[in-house]
Amino acid sequence: MKRILLLTVVAVLLVSLFYGCTPKASQPVTLVFAKAGDAVELDPADVTDGESVTVMNNIFEGLVRYKPGTTEIEPWLATSWDVSSDGLSWTFHLRQGVKFHDGTPFNADAVVFSYERQRDPEHPFHKYGKWEYWGYCFSEIAKTEKVDDYTVKITLSRPFAPFISTMAMFTVNVVSPTNCEKWGDQWFAHPVGTGPFKFVEWVKGDHITLEKNQDYWGEKAKIDKLIFKVVPDASQRYLALQKGEVQGIEFPNPDDLSKIEQDPNLAILSQPGVNVGYLAMNVGEDTPGFQKPFGDVRVRQAINYAINKKAIVDQLYKGTAVVAKNPIPPTLWGYNDAIQDYEYNPTKAKELLKEAGYPDGFKTQLWAMPVSRPYMFDPQKIATAIQADLKAVGIDAEIVSYDWGTYLQKTENGEHPMALLGWTADYADPDNFLYVLLDSDSATVGSAGNIAFYRNPEVHKLNMESQKETDQAKRIELYKQVQQIVHDDAPWVTLAHAKQILVFSKKVQGFVLYPTGDYHFESVTISQ
Amino acid sequence: MKNYILKRVLNLILMLFAVSIIIFLLVRLIPGDPARTLAGEHASLEILETMRKKWGLDKPILEQYLIWLKYAFRGDFGQSILTHESVLKEILQRFPNTFELSVFAMIFASLIGISAGVISAIKRYTIFDYTTMFIALFGVSMPIFWLAIMLVLLFSIKLNLLPTGGRISVYYSIKHITGFYLIDSLITLNFGSFFNVLKHLILPSIALGTIPMAFIARITRSSMLNVINQDYIRTARAKGLPEKTVILKHALKNALIPIITSAGTEFAMLMGGAVLTETIFSWPGLGTYIVQAVNARDYPVIQGAVIFVALIVAIVNLIVDLVYAYIDPRIKY
Amino acid sequence: MEEETLENEELVISESFFGESFRALRKNKSALIGLAIIIILIFVAIFAHLISPYSPIKQDLYNNLKPGFWAGNFKNFLGTDEFGRDLLSRIIYGARVSLSVGVIAVIIGIFLGSLIGIFSGFYGGTLDNILMRITDIMFALPSILLAIVIVSVLGRGLSKAMIAIGITYSPQIARVVRSETIMVKNTEFIEAAKAIGAPKLRILRVHVLPNVLSVIIVYTTLSIGSAILDAAALGFLGLGAQPPTAEWGAMLANSNHYITGGYWWVATFPGIAILISVLGFNLFGDGLRDAIDPRLRKKM
């Protein structure tokens, strides 16, 4: 009797080894995509992180969008728009016959609701969100009004050259007002938009399931089901892809790329991203993390000389990035290629430190994010490499890390002396880098985008001029000057511009990479 | 017997109170505003205010504890800072995963540990005995996270037989009824999922079961040696009973008592101590939950999950003691 | 149940006690192997700076993830890690870290545990009750979990990890020490000392402490092994040693990535180092226990 039981157990175990290696074919066409992290929220206006955005790209749409694979603007939920001659008043003509997933018609009311809830503190739905991006990128919007059911007028408080580019951002995607009313403060977990995919379920920390929107107004999606599976470990993601458990992954380990290239079943999609990974040195004397040495430009330059960026890019990024010499990437217009980067020169670094009065270096902290980011796949590793480079010139840096949310908060407060961070463009304009990350306007303690707290009045003047300027050629000149000043002042060590890399099973066709790092799955097909 | 049980249950309750006090105090020892600690760095002023009101954070510490206790009795351990979900709900979602893994690990540990221990005892001072005992010593000296890595290296990567981690492959879906994947897949007659879940259980169970296996093997051996030299075994042998009957029916049965006790304690510890194994195999259990919470400073979760683990450990220990009392007539209450 | 009666001769520590133990130990081969491992470990830890071929934190990015002697690389005998640091040197320096963490954590544990145990056993009554309930609570949680929670309150880092591990070890030691104390306390020579009016603390120091010492010695040896394991576990979880410290557990922290990439050596050798060291302490501890006090067998 017992022996039979034992045999059964063994048999079951053995069968389980070989059973069910392939999924059944009769299932709906499903694509499982492994992500590095879970979404934080699914309200397009209330998120700041890429993991949430890449999911929402498929659920929500805005008035305009980027042409697939480019940074060119094209009409989308708005079919056309007019601008007043002073550049202050924008009238959008909306597409008719579009419905939200819950059946609510898309019209001017929905657009006004989506925007005004973010802008107007008196709006009944304002209290349900933090609306951080509205503050960063849309503070120039004075008002959004309904003209008629399918016409909306947006009034700006000042001319803002990148305005139409910003309108392609997720923050101004349009949400269903009836759905927001239904869920109140829990709406962020029950998204309803107009996009090609509908939200089905969200098991936090595990997966988000979307399904094809059968009533989509445009060309319908070609797959039935889209699952975003959370697999934080890069190696696990790669193994899941190898075994066919998922059909696509993001952020592969650079070390695995050579093996992936040799795999006949896998295809690597890659293109230069519009991003930058950097080391910010806190120069803000009013911040709690400020250390005296960083107030001296010679120290900051010394650190620039001390770090072997090329080795980091070659050996740790493994060619998945290019060395950065400017805050903006070479793929973006306005890039100043005339700038001579600080070369790797520890001797010079030591000399500069000596001149600045720190011949024996000093003790400090090096903050590093806890999570993989598109612009920096493994910040802890990069931090360890930088730590060793700094040690070689006498600077003792202790690596400090917090969970991602706390990290952002604390760096915005300026509690760090040195911190790694990066940026992926929301809209393709140098303004999105040089104003958001390096202008004195963005260096407010507590909500800083400029976490070096670098406040150069000259940079601010040039940024402001460029925001008002409509002539592209003039704007390029202004931004080139900004880059030169930033290079000389060295508030950052610009580390790398990472390539955007996704790996798909060869069965998956038609995925288009966006320079902004968005994921759109409506064009994707799977061959069996 | 009744009195004994009552006494033990009372003891258990007292101990849980004590654990709750200590954990409660620990979380409040963390420098900074407790409302901020409990609500997270990103919380708005309004949330902080409701937090202060709900948990009485402006009141004296004793009162705070009583308020906390009141909610805890209703199953309200607060909300996770990270996910905004009820802590108890998340714990109950994850507990079946840890439980299933622990049970499998224990089955593995007991099967191998007891057999090896028995054979070692019979063949005392042979090569088999020395080898087994040396392997057992290896088992307790090995970092289990390293063993897990080596298992993955061999079985998942080199031989490509078993999955590297996770609970179930993503393309299988399971209807959640009990939360126990094996049971759920069986009662819905979803055999594909059932075998898939089973496959995911093998490597983590081996990794997690190795230390208990080593302990059980050592205890079985010494317990068997103790018993084998007793008079009644000699009598049984003298009566001419076959050796197999003597060993299995007479000796092992009596040697089992200490084995059960130590296996029970080990099992209790596995439930909360599967932190490392769960981390390596990305197992969505209580262990990974607590590690994530520690990394994210998600204090409501740490507080709730630790008390839950203490409760489980205490209950399992209680059951073990009761079983022990039941099978060993020598115990007086 | 701890108050079992014992023959008196077992309690008196005679001059020959250690001598006898030592003779018994010498016959125990596995204990000698254990001792040899420990001595080598201590040697390596002390002279790490002399025997290690390179600095454990010297980075050489263009020489990273190189295989070692099996691929004919005798410059880096065990290969290099992803920062191009020499793995052998890191393992050698790791011995220093692991050994000191193990020893210091156990000393903290012994100090706390003995303090609790001796006071609890000697004074008895309410104090005993309270102290024993506290140890009960600590027993209710798996030690690694308890250590994680303590680190989450103290903050991460090597020294915090030592304290956390020390605290988790104290209740076991407290219990053993307490039962020994009670046993010793009830014996005649203490009664005699009490009778002639010796102050309590003096009795504690002169008579009780030496008697529990043998227990503590055995316990220390066995605990150092598990303390090394626990410290490695905390390092592995990123809660213990911080970069660039060469600590065996932390060296394994990215292992998933190494094994999929084919750099198995980075994930293998630190583990073997942990295994051998812990094995050494366990072998020696087992032998020591058998030699010093066969009666302890049942208790541990």
The secondary structure of A85-124 as a DSSP string is TTS-EEEEEEPSS-B-TTSPBPSHHHHHHHHHHHH-TTST
Is the previous residue joined to C244 through a cis bond, with omega within 30 degrees of 0?
yes
pLDDT at A199: 95
Which of A13, A15, A32 shows the shortest C-beta gap to B171? Answer: A32
Interface check B103 vs A, CB under 8 A: no
Give the pLDDT confidence of B169-215 residue by residue, as tens digits. Answer: 766 767 777 888 888 888 888 888 888 899 999 999 999 999 999 98
pLDDT over 70 (residue B291): yes
Domain total for chain C?
A: 1
The answer to whether B196 contacts A402, with C-beta atoms less than 8 Å apart, is: no
- pLDDT tens for chain C, 300 residues: list them: 333 333 443 444 444 555 666 777 777 888 899 999 999 999 999 999 999 999 998 899 998 889 999 988 888 999 999 899 999 999 999 999 999 999 999 999 989 998 888 888 888 888 888 888 888 777 777 888 888 888 888 888 899 999 999 999 898 888 888 887 787 777 766 677 777 777 766 766 666 666 667 777 778 888 899 899 999 999 998 888 888 999 999 999 877 778 877 889 999 999 999 999 999 999 998 888 777 765 444 443
Nearest chain C CA: its distance from B163 CA (Å) = 13
The answer to whether C61 contacts A235, with C-beta atoms less than 8 Å apart, is: no
Dist CA C84 CA A315 (whole Å): 10
Residue with tokens 């869920």: A183
Which of C153, C237, C268 shows the shortest C-beta gap to B291? Answer: C237
Contacts of A111 (CB under 8 A, 6+ apart): A63, A92, A94, A144, A146, A152, A174
Q: Which CATH number fits domain B97-327: 3.90.1300.10, 2.30.30.830, 1.20.1050.10, 1.10.3720.10?
A: 1.10.3720.10
Phi, psi (5° rounding) for residue B135?
-65, -40
Chains touching chain A, criterion 3+ CB pairs below 8 Å = B, C
ipTM of the complex: 0.85
Interface check A205 vs B, CB under 8 A: yes
Q: How far is CA A178 from CA A47, A125, A191, A209, A396, in A?
A: 20, 12, 11, 22, 56
Which of A27, A32, A232 shows the shortest C-beta gap to B170? Answer: A32
pLDDT at A9: 59
Nearest chain A CA: its distance from B233 CA (Å) = 24
Q: How far apart are the first and last CA of chain B?
A: 6
Please, what's the b/e burial string for C78-117 (b: 16 or more CB within 10 A of its CB; e: otherwise)? bbbbbbbbbbbbbbbbbbbbbbebbbbbbbbbbebbbebb
Rounded to 10°, the helix C264-292/B127-141 angle is 110
Residue with tokens 């520890």: A346
Dist CA C53 CA C92 (whole Å): 9
For chain A, give me the number of helices (H) and strands (E)? 16, 20
Structure token pair of residue C45:
């830890």
pLDDT at B43: 64
Closest CA to B141 of C232, A244, A331: C232
Closest CA to C114 of C182, C187, C170, C168: C170
Q: Ramachandran region of residue A495, left (φ > 0), alpha (ψ -120 to 50) or beta?
A: alpha
Q: How far is CA C74 from CA A423, C78, C193, C246, in A?
A: 43, 8, 66, 21
Alpha carbon dihedral C98, C99, C105, C107, in 10-degree steps, equals 180
Nearest chain A CA: its distance from C55 CA (Å) = 12
Which of C61, C62, C261 shows the shortest C-beta gap to A255? Answer: C261
pLDDT at A388: 95
The answer to whether A240 contacts B170, with C-beta atoms less than 8 Å apart, is: yes
Structure token pair of residue C164:
């956390």
Contact between A484 and A327 under an 8 Å Cβ cutoff? The reply is no
Residue with tokens 């019209």: A107
Q: How far is CA A161 from CA A137, A416, A427, A428, B288, in A?
A: 12, 33, 12, 12, 48
Residue with tokens 């800072």: B81
The answer to whether B40 contacts A207, with C-beta atoms less than 8 Å apart, is: no
Which amino acid belongs to residue C55? S
pLDDT at B69: 86
Task: Pick the more confident residue, B116 or C3.
Answer: B116
pLDDT at A20: 45
Q: How far is CA A37 from CA A45, A206, A251, A404, in A?
A: 19, 9, 11, 11
pLDDT over 80 (residue B40): no
Dist CA B171 CA A34 (whole Å): 12
Ranges under pLDDT 70 in chain A:
1-27
pLDDT at A277: 95
Q: What residues of B are in contact with residue C150 (Cβ under 8 Å)?
A: 26
Q: What residues of C are in contact with residue B279 (Cβ under 8 Å)?
A: 237
pLDDT at A464: 93
Interface check A227 vs B, CB under 8 A: yes
The secondary structure of A313-362 as a DSSP string is IIIISTTSEEE-SSSS-TTSTT--TTPPPPP--HHHHHHHHHHTT-TT--
Interface check B85 vs A, CB under 8 A: yes
Nearest chain C CA: its distance from B324 CA (Å) = 16
The answer to whether C242 contacts A235, with C-beta atoms less than 8 Å apart, is: no
Q: How far is CA B153 from CA B108, C261, C276, C294, in A?
A: 20, 11, 20, 41
Closest CA to A441 of A419, A467, A411: A467
pLDDT at C219: 80
Interface check A223 vs B, CB under 8 A: no
Chains touching chain C, criterion 3+ CB pairs below 8 Å = A, B
Residue with tokens 């790797």: A344
Q: Ramachandran region of residue A251, left (φ > 0), alpha (ψ -120 to 50) or beta?
A: left
User: Residue C238's domain is classified under what CATH number?
Assistant: 1.10.3720.10
Domain residues for C210? 2-297
CB interface of C with A, residues 204-243, below 8 Å: 242-243
Instruction: Please state the pTM of the whole predicted model.
Output: 0.82
Domain edges within chain B: 97-327
Determine the Cα angle at B279 with ends A383 and C267, to 5°. Answer: 60
Q: How many CB pairs under 8 A join B and C?
A: 121
pLDDT at A21: 44
Q: Is the dihedral of CA C6, C7, C12, C16 positive or negative?
A: negative
Contact between A309 and A496 under an 8 Å Cβ cutoff? The reply is yes
Q: Which residue of C has its CA nearest to A312?
A: C61
Which of C82, C256, C263 shows the shortest C-beta gap to A233? Answer: C256
Closest CA to A337 of A508, A484, A513: A484
The answer to whether A20 contacts B164, with C-beta atoms less than 8 Å apart, is: no
pLDDT over 70 (residue B48): yes
The secondary structure element, H or E, covering residue A154 is: strand A151-156
The answer to whether A207 contacts B196, with C-beta atoms less than 8 Å apart, is: no
Q: Is the dihedral of CA B87, B89, B92, B94 positive or negative?
A: negative
The secondary structure of A400-422 as a DSSP string is E---HHHHHHHHHTT--SEEEEE
pLDDT at A49: 77
Structure token pair of residue A513:
């990479």
Question: Highest-confidence range of A516-525, B231-240, B315-324, by mean pLDDT?
Answer: A516-525
Contact between B302 and B293 under an 8 Å Cβ cutoff? The reply is yes
Determine the Cα angle at B211 with ends B206 and B212, to 5°. Answer: 90
Average pLDDT over residues B263-281: 85
The secondary structure element, H or E, covering residue A501 is: strand A492-505
The answer to whether A243 contacts B163, with C-beta atoms less than 8 Å apart, is: yes
On average, the pLDDT of chain A sits at 89
The answer to whether A314 contacts C57, with C-beta atoms less than 8 Å apart, is: no
Question: What residues in chain B have their Cβ under 8 A from chain C's Cβ atoms?
Answer: 14-15, 18-19, 22-23, 26-27, 29-30, 137-138, 140-143, 145-146, 149-150, 152-153, 157, 164, 269-270, 272-273, 275-276, 279-280, 287, 290-291, 294-295, 297, 302, 306, 309-310, 313-314
Contact between B307 and B176 under an 8 Å Cβ cutoff? The reply is no
Q: What residues of B are in contact with residue A447 (Cβ under 8 Å)?
A: none
Nearest chain A CA: its distance from B86 CA (Å) = 12
Q: What letter would DSSP give residue B250? A: I
Question: What residues in chain C have their Cβ under 8 A from chain B's Cβ atoms?
Answer: 133-134, 136-137, 140-145, 148-153, 225, 229, 232-233, 236-239, 249, 252, 255-256, 259-260, 264, 267-268, 270-271, 274-275, 278-279, 282-283, 286
Q: How far is CA C247 from CA A67, A358, C234, C250, C256, in A?
A: 51, 31, 10, 5, 17
pLDDT at A60: 96
Contacts of C143 (CB under 8 A, 6+ apart): B273, C165, C168, C169, C230
Alpha carbon dihedral C83, C85, C91, C92, in 10-degree steps, equals -150
Dist CA A114 CA C133 (whole Å): 58
Task: Pick the more confident residue, A162 or B37.
Answer: A162
Question: Highest-confidence range of B1-5, B147-151, B238-242, C16-20, by mean pLDDT?
Answer: B147-151
Structure token pair of residue C271:
């583990």
Nearest chain B CA: its distance from A427 CA (Å) = 26
